[in-house]
Amino acid sequence: MSTSEPLPSWDPGEEAAALEYALFDPAYYLAQRPDAADTEDKSLVHYLQYGWREGVNPCPLFDVRFYLSQRPDVAAARVEPFLHYLRAGRAEGCQPHPLFDPTFYFSQRPELARSGVEPLQHYLEGGWREGLKPHPLFDVDFYLEQRPDVVEARLEPLRHYLAHGWREGTKPHPLFDPGFYLAHRPDVAEAGVEPLSHYLLAGWREWAWPHPLFNPTHRADYRVDPELPQSNPLLDYVMQSEEAGKDPHALFDTRYYLAQVEEMSGLPPLQHYLVEGWKQGHSPHPVFDSSFYVDHCHDIEARAPDPLTHYVTIGWRIGAWPHPLFNRELYLQQRPEVARQGVDPLAHYLTLGWRDDAKPHLLFEPIHYRSQCEGGELSIAPLVHYLSEGWKQGKRPHPLFDLAFYLSRYPAVAESGDEPLAHYVRSGWRERHWPHPLFNPDYYLEQRADLVMAGTEPLMHYVLRGDTEPGDPHPLFDTRFYLEEAGGTGGLPPLQHYVTEGWLAGRSPHPLFDPDYYIDRLKQTEPVAQEPLSHYLARGWHAQPHPLFDPAFYLRNFLGDEIGQKAPLLHYAESGWEAAADPHPLFDTSLYLDQHPDRARERTPLEHYVRRGWRDALRPHVLFDPAFYLAQCPESAGSNPLIHFLLHGRGDNKRPTAEDISGIIDRLIALGDLERAASLHAMLSTRSRAWARRGLVLPLRGLRSYAEEHGCLLKEFAAEETSIPETRCFGRVDDTLVAERLPGLSTFVAQIEGAVVLAGTKVVVTDDGTVLHDAAARHAHDPEIEIDASDLLPRVSGEQVLLNFDRRPVHRIEEGVLLTSECDTSYARWLLEALPAVAMLDSLPHLAEWPLLVRDDLPADFYRALYLANVKDRPVIRLRDRAAYQVGRLTIPSNVTLMTRRVAGSAGTTADFAFSRRWTCLAAETVQRRLAPAELPRQKLFATRRSAPHRLANNEQIEVLLARDGFMIEEFDRTSFDYAILRWSQSPTVVAAAGDCLANMIFSPKGSRLIVLTCDPSAPRTRHLRHLAGSLGHDICFVVGSREYTGCEDPADDDYTVAGQDVRSALKHIGALQALRDADL
């Protein structure tokens, strides 16, 4: 020791001094200077005389040199620092130790500052037991949680840390890791310096990292001078709320994290994640999925750190994936320099790699994704944008992953709130989920048994190998044919090339699907503005996909409604051809196979003919002779003669064969094959003798007037006055539609003897030659009214029509009830006319056993609905559509719903609408009672139909919006009637596009809230919906979108888009209505 200068003596008898020195720790002092004194009693004297001058600390929590560095005036005056602190320094806010901040300590208990208590002594005597922290970066509770031995020994944690804890790797704070700090500062470790104090005194100025997840240079706004930080960034982050909003690390997205957590407990976001969040399953970044990482990184032990810390320190080095959509191996294949540099590939992608459009996953195409964003540019990594918000906006991550399709096909995924592509990658593919309408995993794997054995995910295999290895992704995508058509795909899988480029260039995906022909067939009724094959499979079944495939003929003549929810061409390609089903009136499968018995079995007969058979002059049908036709049309040589005939020759009056076509058609009629006879007659424009009775001009009457005049009105029911309620509109039309009173509809039942009916219509011809048709008679003098039977009954005058069909009956029926009409194929008209008519018949007991006459080509759901409504179990007789039948005693129920259709642009009147609430509600109750649906939790419903003739163009975006709001998304094109009733009956809140699906509101609970999406609130069908909803006691409002102007004259028939904000406004409106209703109750 140095004793060269005499030092002032200390009088231990001063009581005040003895009290002030109560914090002196003799044992600690002697441990630093064992040569200082013989006994502990003399250690204080030694400290006062020599120790403080030599920088020896009087106790663990008073650092002499640190204190004097804060107070150079004290050092210059040669005043002993510990006594100065106790008498004056503490009151002036001086810190006795780098890890004890009196100002911060008192901020936790402001009343202590006012009491005059010495903070360090208070802390040591009991403050630590109350959980008071000595410093923002020393968390007492956190420290003790790590050291149960310290708790058991009742040791004060800060002194334990300074003496032992830091050497043993115990963390003083969730955001300071001593082991990590010393590993990155070997100079500090070699000097044996306590790391947190070093960080607070010097390390932060050198941009040292206090924790693997805290990068002080990550945010440029932490520093002003590029060389020196202006303040301790970690203290700023922990203490200042504005700093806590900044991202502390490239893999910690503060905004993303906060969106997951409801209560932060007053902690900075990163600290919350490290202490609580990761245990609750929260993820720190869109591209780091904590649960996925823990499940798939088997290196993590039970006592390992949080998943993100494990990843940035260990995981990326051992090849662990941070997220299902970040494939590190794929990324490193694209960026081999990253592996050479020893850099975390995810961090590299997030900072640099994305800018060069590097792919993070085989099923995430950055260029394709950016093309869907405004301006095609992004300021963040595309994958981050997609996972944060893009998928919720309906943006597709890859051309072969259709997000809206996936969510609508698998509603459980939408209900879970999981991001769809990650769901598919994690588990969906194992459950054989379809990622795209044109990628059928079952079909693809049937061709590749090796992939099934290896457990290979089919879509990724196709994306990686589809351009070089065999395997068609869908029965209607023929890879070999497409490659012949496209002449190469530029290295893209053929299907991806088709959906991104090929269809735009008019390439055909299959020999039996002609995109140009299909689009042309729909351009007048439903213009196609998307990839056509997907459009066909979703909603275009009724249209011809190829000149030689007639869906109406295929369904009518072979399978009718037995194919279920499947496009006719798809059914034919998969199995129909094997049953020798003819795809077209002029293609006879049996005849063709007889000519070509060695035809390859892997191709359908029609496909074989389209690709090769016509070149061999094979005859597709007895009524088409290729050689005879070519002799008439030599210019068609080199092209398929049958297709040429159908597209050109028929219009030029060229004959398909030298045989007598009329005779063949007559023979078909004699054999009872009326469908084929009718199809050939219409197609070949001949005039067979079987149609000789056409052209008769007959008188036209309404059913009621005729029945009253001839005394055959069985029963009449009183009219019920109804109304259209006041209705709110949002969007392009922001207005309130006024309420209207409507005249009631008088209903009745008539019975006529010896009448002829035309199946599939309301046309009845009596035995005295009178044509009965209510709509035609009611509007005989109004040219603005569109009559459904106008093709059968062209007007001659107001009282006469031209009979444009053969009224000679092909069958005779003894008695029956007429339930057919021109609108039988409309789901809404079937629910609102046919079923209520059955309910009306039930009120007449003597008709309980009369058979019901319906057309034979009704969809299966229509028959199911009729079965449920037919409580009397009346027999059902199916009539061939547009065939004439004579009925000995014919019972005809009147219309129970009146909805007049006017030509485009004509204004409707209240007389255009009428509705019988009585029969409709009775029918709905009957159906629900017989179905007895199980009670399910009430749920909000978005009812969508992709095959509707007028389409909601941004349907996918609205689906995503409503799914996020808890709506169940149901595509009712793909559901059974029973399921539809179940869903509607359990859904008091429904959003739906205007269309037939809304007729299901008759099954909704009374007082339901309906939001209807439309582009024309004044359209007749929209007015009818208001009427129907009001009569049933439902609240209804409209969201009015903008027309797409696809060529439809009538706005109500056009495609349209609606704004998501307008949908939200409507949701708030119906919520307010419900609140008022609840208040009234």
Predicted confidence band of residue 917 (pLDDT cuts 50, 70, 90): confident
Q: Are residues 459 and 539 in the same domain?
A: yes
pLDDT 10s digits, 1021-1075:
777 888 889 888 899 999 999 887 766 666 666 788 999 999 999 999 888 766 6
pLDDT 10s digits, 364-406:
999 999 999 988 889 999 999 999 999 999 999 999 999 999 9
Q: Are residues 571 and 629 in the same domain?
A: yes
Predicted confidence band of residue 577 (pLDDT cuts 50, 70, 90): confident
How far is CA 47 from each of CA 43, 57, 576, 901, 995, rounded to the nearest angstrom? Answer: 6, 8, 103, 106, 93
Query: Is-contact 1058 952, C-beta < 8 A?
Result: yes
pLDDT of residue 773 exceeding 50: yes
For the segment 693-702, the average pLDDT, to the nearest whole number, is 64
Compare 765 and 435 and report the one with higher pLDDT. 435
pLDDT score at 675: 55
Compare 38 and 820 and report the one with higher pLDDT. 820
pLDDT 10s digits, 202-213:
999 999 999 999
Q: Are residues 764 and 884 in the same domain?
A: yes
CATH number at residue 1002: 3.40.50
For the segment 486-491, the average pLDDT, to the nearest whole number, is 83
pLDDT score at 688: 35
DSSP 204-228: GGGT--SBTTB-TTSSGGG-SSSSS
Going by C-alpha positions, the residue among 101, 165, 98, 155 that lies closest to residue 129 is 155
pLDDT score at 458: 95
One-letter-per-residue 3-state SS of 246-280:
CCCECCECHHHHHHHCCCCCCCCHHHHHHHCHHHH
**How many other C-beta atoms are found inside a 10 Å radius of the C-beta of residue 955?**
24
Mean pLDDT of the chain: 84
Residues paired with 59 in a beta bridge? 62
Phi, psi of 642 (to 5 degrees): -70, -40
Let me know if residue 18 belongs to a domain: no
Domain carrying residue 871:
694-719+743-902
**How many other C-beta atoms are found inside a 10 Å radius of the C-beta of residue 349?**
26
> Is residue 852 exposed (0-12), middle (13-18) or buried (19+ Cβ within 10 Å)?
buried
Let me know if residue 127 belongs to a domain: no
Name 155's Cβ contacts closer than 8 Å, sequence gap at least 6: none
pLDDT score at 332: 95
Query: Is-contact 1046 1054, C-beta < 8 A?
Result: yes
Q: At which of 415, 437, 459 does a domain end? A: 437
Let me know if residue 234 belongs to a domain: no
Q: Are residues 517 and 625 in the same domain?
A: yes
Q: At which of 437, 464, 488 does a domain end? A: 437
Compare 955 and 228 and report the one with higher pLDDT. 955
Q: Are residues 704 and 601 in the same domain?
A: no
pLDDT of residue 168 exceeding 80: yes
Distance CA 94, CA 133 (A): 17
Let me know if residue 368 belongs to a domain: yes
DSSP one-letter code for 546: B
Q: Are residues 609 and 672 in the same domain?
A: yes
Q: Is the pTM value of this prediction over 0.85?
A: no
pLDDT of residue 772 exceeding 70: yes
pLDDT score at 443: 94
**How many other C-beta atoms are found inside a 10 Å radius of the C-beta of residue 607?**
24
Q: Are residues 969 and 880 in the same domain?
A: no
pLDDT score at 884: 82
Distance CA 176, CA 167 (A): 14
- Beta strand 727-731 with 1035-1040: parallel, antiparallel or unpaired? parallel
Phi-psi region of 930 (alpha: psi -120 to 50; beta: other; left: phi over 0): alpha
Predicted confidence band of residue 1078 (pLDDT cuts 50, 70, 90): low
How far is CA 931 from each of CA 5, 260, 977, rounded to the nearest angstrom? Answer: 107, 42, 10
For the segment 90-114, the average pLDDT, to the nearest whole number, is 91
DSSP 342-394: T--HHHHHHHTGGGGT--SBTTB-HHHHHTTSGGG--SS-HHHHIIIIIGGGT
pLDDT score at 805: 59
Q: Are residues 713 and 683 in the same domain?
A: no
Distance CA 822, CA 4 (A): 121
Predicted confidence band of residue 15 (pLDDT cuts 50, 70, 90): very low
Q: Are residues 761 and 613 in the same domain?
A: no
Let me know if residue 625 belongs to a domain: yes
Interaxial angle between packed helices 955-964 and 1060-1080, expressed in degrees from 0 to 180 and rounded to the nearest 10: 40
Query: Is-contact 10 17, C-beta < 8 A?
Result: yes
pLDDT score at 4: 37
Predicted confidence band of residue 936 (pLDDT cuts 50, 70, 90): low
pLDDT score at 682: 58
Sheet-wide strand order for 968-971? 736-737, 727-731, 1035-1040, 1009-1014, 989-993, 941-944, 968-971
Q: Are residues 678 and 698 in the same domain?
A: no
User: Any idea which of 82-91, 322-331, 741-750, 775-784 has the lowest mean pLDDT?
Assistant: 775-784
pLDDT of residue 698 exceeding 90: no
Predicted confidence band of residue 980 (pLDDT cuts 50, 70, 90): confident
Q: What angle do CA 742, 747, 748 make, to 5 degrees?
A: 165
How far is CA 302 from each of CA 294, 299, 321, 990, 1074, rounded to the nearest angstrom? Answer: 10, 10, 19, 47, 51
Query: Is-contact 962 1063, C-beta < 8 A?
Result: yes
For the segment 31-50, the average pLDDT, to the nearest whole number, is 78
pLDDT of residue 596 exceeding 80: no
pLDDT of residue 945 exceeding 80: no
Q: Are residues 454 and 576 in the same domain?
A: yes
Going by C-alpha positions, the residue among 806, 860, 862 that lies closest to residue 834 is 862
Let me know if residue 698 belongs to a domain: yes
Predicted confidence band of residue 892 (pLDDT cuts 50, 70, 90): very high
**Number of domains making up the chain:** 4
Predicted confidence band of residue 293 (pLDDT cuts 50, 70, 90): very high
Let me know if residue 908 belongs to a domain: no
% residues pLDDT > 70 (the chain): 84
Distance CA 417, CA 787 (A): 47
pLDDT of residue 605 exceeding 70: yes
**How many other C-beta atoms are found inside a 10 Å radius of the C-beta of residue 350?**
23
> Is residue 1073 exposed (0-12), middle (13-18) or buried (19+ Cβ within 10 Å)?
middle
Q: Are residues 536 and 630 in the same domain?
A: yes
**How many other C-beta atoms are found inside a 10 Å radius of the C-beta of residue 409?**
17
Predicted confidence band of residue 495 (pLDDT cuts 50, 70, 90): very high
Let me know if residue 181 belongs to a domain: no
For the segment 316-340, the average pLDDT, to the nearest whole number, is 94
**How many other C-beta atoms are found inside a 10 Å radius of the C-beta of residue 184?**
15
Q: At which of 390, 408, 437 does a domain end? A: 437
